[in-house]
Structure 1
Amino acid sequence: MVMSMAACGDDSGSQGSSGSGSQAESGSQDSSEESSAASDESTQDSGEEASGDEGGEEASGGEEHESAGTVVLHEPKDLGGRTIRIGLWWDEYWDSNYQTLDDVTAAGGSYSNSETMQMKLDKIRDIESRWNCKIEWVNLGWDGITESINTSITAGTPDCDIYLTDPQFGIPAALNGYAQKISSYAPADSDILNDQVVLRPFNVLGSNEYLMCTSDNYIIPSGACYMAYNAKMLDELNLEAPEALAEKGQWDWEKFAEYALACTKDTDGDGNMDTYGYGSVFTDTISAFLASNNAAIANSTTEGLSDSKTVEVFNFLDRLYNVDGSARPYQDDWNNDQLALFQGQVAFSIVRPYMLIDNAPNVDFDIRICPLPVGTSGDGTRMPVILVNSYFIPIGVEDAESVYLVFEEMQNWFDGDTYYRDDPEWFESAFVDLDQVELAYQEGSKTGDDLWNSIPGLDVGAVFYGVYVNKDQTVSQAIESQKQIVQDGLDAAAAGIK
């Protein structure tokens, strides 16, 4: 099964002048936490929007809606009052601690759709009665959840029956053998092994046996990465809209390089460039241009860093940063590099919906999205992988089948009627008009499977820093020095998921 998986690198991996640039090491946590938390606004804001409560309008209970598929309601088992604990790093407000909407608000929670929030609370009551159990979301904090995963599971006594994880620590947990196989606990007629209305497996290096996520992540692409541009800047230069060029098959690397160079200017005549054609954080830059060229570094157990398509990507970036000078010099400051588009310092960048929602209202120009420019070996069908938050049941959890079935029922609070779950209002509010919304869905539906920024130890950032920041290596030298490191990292990862 091919799935569109989710987000260009959320980890900063930002390094100092040493230029090691490892995406999984120092500096990655703070920005990844910030980025993950922000991107999660589309899926879990205020604890209830993970299921699509962003809409604000009451769902219409009087209408009949088409079911997305069949979800089998399994025969319950008496769990003897067991509390099923779900670990995460923020507060959720629909578990056994909350009986009513008033309980939620009294505890400091909020919701934007009272009907769907009540449906969640009602589902908890139903599960408690059917299974004789309790359900508890446990806010372990960002540092606490990684510590819990790395200590309690290895000790054989996991703190939680289920963990919700950011890709930064969820994928390593799966690779390190901390998760039970889905096939070992999910019944043959379970949703995740059939229609996947509620839950889907999350693929890691060809294995979909360990991590799972809610299926709504693949309906509304709120975690997708898009190329965005300053429309005012292009209009002032009489440059045709990139999305219009894309429709005519004319939006490729050459045209992008032409546009980027045209937008690179010394606007105040002081001899220094004030605006550049392109700028973003290095993780998003690498991920986006790899996708645009149908290239991948880590989508299989064989390193793709030295593949000819990947080499083409880094050579093109070398043109932007070192030859044309149309890419903004890397500041090695995560927010500075990531938000340069909103500061009017670059014409093009890579963004996510939450960035547009948070920042676009504060600028005096339209920010529009466009397809990625098609690379030399690309065909316009790929996008960076969308890295969604995912769940796993750790090794050491007893009766994992019952835990899974309770969790499946809980996440099916909408009883298979996805009308209640899938509210696109938050996502669509990121874009300036309906044409842009349509384009966002179109681009967000494209597939991606390169996990280079989520597997520990690959250190792809060293190539970026060596060639474009420190400028002490050529592309070929940087790739040659790193390709075995990437292969060793993939070998270690593959060993962990066998």
Structure 2
Amino acid sequence: MKKRLSLSIFLVLILLMAVSVSAEEVKWDLGGQTIRIQTRWEDVTPLGERGAHNWYQPDERLLAHIKSVEEMFNCKIEFVARGHEGDAWAAIQEGSLLGETTVHFAHFSAGMVVPATAGALHPLNDILDDEFYESYPIMFQYPRLSGDSVGSTIYGFEALGHSREARVIMWNKSLFEREGIESLYDIYERGEWTWDKFYEIARALTKDTDGDGEYDQYGLGALGVKEVYDFLVSNGARFTQIREDGRVEFDLLRPEFLETMEFLQKIWSEGLVGDGISSNRSRAAMWLDIGTHISNPGRQAEFYAIQNDEWGIIPPPQGPNGKGEVNMHTRWVGVIPNTVEDPRAVIEVVSALFQTREPYIDKEEWEAKWWDRHLWALYDYESFEYLQEAMRNSVLVPDHVETRVLVVHAEPKAEAVFDQIIKQGASAASVLAEWEPVLQGYLDEMLKQ
């Protein structure tokens, strides 16, 4: 019988907090102005689990929350342009053509680059200060210039508080024990969780268990583009650098990048990766994944239907140039169109509406409630501690600008280039030397630099 983590060890159940400041304490009086909000996260609200409520179709409880924020700021709140980033951008452009503000706030991910480079968003460097960033719960105090910027100009801010998607190693504790392999927790605590140790363990756990001459148990479950990003971060690598004059340049031939490609080429060539086994978690000892996926209802069968095995969570192993960083799957940020007269006031309205930061929340109570959604799925306290650590140390690589180039524009795309190096055995230095100027050309055109 599997023993999942008991929430009572860490916290008591907390009732939903009301907005923790009164209308009298708020210094932004918007004089009855209508604030128009666009989001693709229509079912993420501060009132409960995702899907429990909908901003575009609010029930009585959500309407009461919206009204309380309207009274706090003396404004009206309207949700508009229901849809994804493209819909948000279309609505922003419509406002520009009409000479009015049709959207005051929108959520963007990698698509933020398009309105930012078109000059359609407010730069926030001089609007948001240290005190603002420190008002968030610790897990949402992101490093600046990590998914919120184009070059060194910040356009985005945390405005959702839903998930910091740190990618971690999920390891089959039961399989390790059956195979006589030491716990990764003990290895990590000794400071020995390195690429070399990862390779040693992956080598030991990759086996032909049924004697047919083919591996059917693997050290690592998959090695696609996301996993490549994860290993790059674990070796301190970055795709670009920002020069003193502000120019952004791809820098793929730095030692950390080449080392990563060569290491991944090695583990692939030795058959230590079960690529192509999809979500069959029983056939691999370790997987790279978003840490909070372990509590995702749609992912339960992957973790809880495997021979009653127990799973643990730990940050990825560090390469020779690692800085203790963990990769972040993606990041959604809030942006303010440049037609908005008082961007900071809108930021405050959104912060109160989504309840993301002080003074609109109590940070300790907020974090306890947030973890309540995930702790039930963890098997041990170490997973809780290491998932927290991974979130605190997560960075977005590639960032939104780089992702836009790599995924939308570049030919060949990242997947084909990485496969050529890692799976086909091509020289990393040669392939990347050819690819880098192609990427730079798209980047220069995008940033007009």
Deviation at 1:193, TM superposition (A): 7.1
State which of 438, 458, 465 in structure 1 corresponds to 2:419.
Answer: 465
Q: Conserved in 2, the CA contact under 8 Å of 1:146 and 1:169? A: no
CA–CA distance in 1 between the matches of 2:177 and 2:113? 43
Read off the aligned partner of 2:420 and give its amino acid letter.
G
CA–CA distance in 2 between the matches of 1:293 and 1:215? 29
- Alignment partner, residue 9 of structure 2: none
Read off the aligned partner of 1:241 and give its amino acid letter.
S
Partner deviation per Cα, 1:242-269 (whole Å, 9 max, x = no partner) = 2211222222212211211222222222
Deviation at 1:420, TM superposition (A): 4.3
Read off the aligned partner of 1:346 and give its amino acid letter.
A
- Closer, same or farther in 2 for the Cα pair 1:386/1:94, shift >3 Å? closer
- Alignment partner, residue 4 of structure 2: none
Read off the aligned partner of 1:211 and give its amino acid letter.
G
CA–CA distance in 2 between the matches of 1:490 and 1:211? 20
State which of 297, 302, 311 in structure 2 corresponds to 1:367.
Answer: 311
Compute the RMSD of aligned alpha carbons. 3.9
State how 1:36-435 maps to structure 2 within 5 Å: 57-59=14-16, 73-79=26-32, 82-92=33-43, 124-129=66-71, 131-138=73-80, 140-142=82-84, 145=87, 148=90, 152=94, 155=97, 159-165=102-108, 167-182=109-124, 186=127, 192=132, 195=135, 203-204=148-149, 207=152, 209-214=154-159, 216=161, 222-280=164-222, 282-298=224-240, 300=242, 301-322=248-269, 324-329=270-275, 331=276, 337=278, 339-340=279-280, 342=281, 344-357=282-295, 358-359=299-300, 360-364=303-307, 365-379=309-323, 381-385=324-328, 387-397=330-340, 400=343, 402-412=345-355, 415-422=360-367, 423=369, 424-435=371-382
Partner deviation per Cα, 1:431-484 (whole Å, 9 max, x = no partner) = 211122112112322142532575312343332121234x27332232122112
TM-score (normalizing by structure 1): 0.69
- Closer, same or farther in 2 for the Cα pair 1:485/1:288, shift >3 Å? same
CA–CA distance in 2 between the matches of 1:475 and 1:302? 19
CA–CA distance in 2 between the matches of 1:375 and 1:190? 32
Deviation at 1:317, TM superposition (A): 0.3
Deviation at 1:318, TM superposition (A): 0.3
Read off the aligned partner of 1:366 and give its amino acid letter.
E
Q: Conserved in 1, the CA contact under 8 Å of 2:28 and 2:345? A: no
Q: Conserved in 2, the CA contact under 8 Å of 1:299 and 1:451? A: no
TM-score (normalizing by structure 2): 0.75
CA–CA distance in 1 between the matches of 2:74 and 2:350? 14
Deviation at 1:76, TM superposition (A): 0.7
- Partner SS state of residue 488, structure 1: helix
- Closer, same or farther in 2 for the Cα pair 1:208/1:133, shift >3 Å? same
Q: Conserved in 1, the CA contact under 8 Å of 2:134 and 2:141? A: no
Partner deviation per Cα, 1:90-120 (whole Å, 9 max, x = no partner) = 434879xx9xxxx969x9878xxxxxx96x7
- Closer, same or farther in 2 for the Cα pair 1:432/1:86, shift >3 Å? same
Q: Conserved in 2, the CA contact under 8 Å of 1:149 and 1:173? A: no
- Alignment partner, residue 23 of structure 1: none
- Alignment partner, residue 11 of structure 1: none
Deviation at 1:141, TM superposition (A): 2.6
- Closer, same or farther in 2 for the Cα pair 1:191/1:376, shift >3 Å? closer
| Count of matched residue positions in the alignment of Structure 1 and Structure 2 | 403
- Identity over aligned pairs, percent: 20
